[in-house]
Amino acid sequence: MAKKKILVAIDWYLPGYKAGGPIRSCANIIFNLKDDFDFSVVTSDTDFSDNTPYSSVKSDQWNTLNDGTRVYYFSSAGFSYKAMEELILQEKPDIIYMNSFFSRQFTLTPLRVIRKKKLKCKAIIAPRGMLGAGALAIKPLKKLAFISFSKMMGTYDKVRWHASTTQEADEIKAIFGKRAEVVVALNLSSAQTNTVADKQKKSGELNLLFFSRISRKKNLHLVLQWLQQIPADNKINFSIYGTLEDDAYWKECEALISKLPDHIRANYLGVVSSDETPKVFARNHFSILPTMHENYGHAIIESLAAGVPVIISKNTPWHQLEQALAGFDIDLADEAGFKEAIQKAAAMDNVTYSQWQTASVQYAASVLNNSNTITQNKKLFAG
């Protein structure tokens, strides 16, 4: 029996990495399910926030990656509705799996092709957290107007939704109704739990890490505000990694960095590839991400798997962390709670911190080694 053909449509894909989670989610689905389904990918030929095409791929044609995946990289000049239509008609996929709610090129255009040509292929959309309250709070008028218009036009009628959690499923149904077809399948991660690094931790000192795209949704500015108020008996080295999405927002963060007291040092260290990620975690004690919303949070699981406990908001699937000695999950409105968590992390001595390192890896292992996750993702593409 022939494998079901799945065309993955996504704005950015490998070898890109600057868009973060969606790239990793799709690559991990393909890696884990390639024996069950025949995957191909259509994407753009540049990484997130870049203007220069990848040097390792040929634009506007099919490429075969080292793992055997066929990927079509559209150039900005080569993309058009007609070009996407021709690609879909030639591929004849059983499923088109789209990885954005708002993407014009890689969600709205494939949906239009399916409807215009009355194709029998199934449309599956992973909104990637874009329908969460925190995500919709950014530019809300524009987003809500688009949602209202799309519902009126029936843009998303008869699609199957991929929700990473039951919470995301509820968010989708709150917008598109209880009859919306939603399949819950936790994202797959490529993170590997490793032996805990022999890392020294002195009480009163903390290497703190921010490892995410730098946008208002991720709330880096809040971290910088909290750090201004941390008492002087805490020496904190704050390392910031991530793609700069918004120049105006980054200038706001730079202004806050300039106001940090002498016992708090903050440095922006750019963007790192997946090969360099382990070295980043090895240099830090805790990571922090007070995000408005994550439907999964690859950076969170990668941090825990590396034995780096986390300080995060409750707006992720990962809860009861302090009870598990894996970090802190705190209500975003609880400013005092975040400052207290930072101080608790700084106060840990080496013995206590080692216990938290080990517990963080164990927490990550409980997520990464769950066989139900593979089963859930197979069901997403069944039927």
Q: What is the C-alpha to C-alpha distance for residues 73 and 123, in angstroms, rounded to an integer?
A: 21
pLDDT at 195 over 80: no
Q: What pTM did the predictor assign?
A: 0.85
Residue 198 confidence (pLDDT): 76
In tens, the pLDDT along 67-126 reads 999 999 999 999 999 999 999 999 999 999 999 999 999 999 999 999 999 999 999 999
pLDDT at 193 over 80: no
What count of Cα atoms within 13 Å lies in the side-chain half-sphere of residue 304? 29
Q: In what order do the strands lie in the sheet with 205-211?
A: 264-268, 235-241, 205-211, 286-289, 310-313, 327-330
Residue with tokens 């009870």: 323
Range with the poorest average pLDDT among 42-46, 59-63, 164-168, 303-307: 164-168
The arithmetic mean of pLDDT across residues 130-145, rounded, is 85
At residue 295 the predicted structure's pLDDT band, cuts being 50, 70 and 90, is confident
3-state class (DSSP) for residue 33: helix
Domains, the chain, in order of start with CATH, read: 4-188+370-380 (3.40.50.2000), 205-368 (3.40.50.2000)
What contacts 134, CB < 8 A, 6 or more positions away?
217, 291, 292, 293, 315
Residues in the chain: 383
Residue 199 confidence (pLDDT): 86
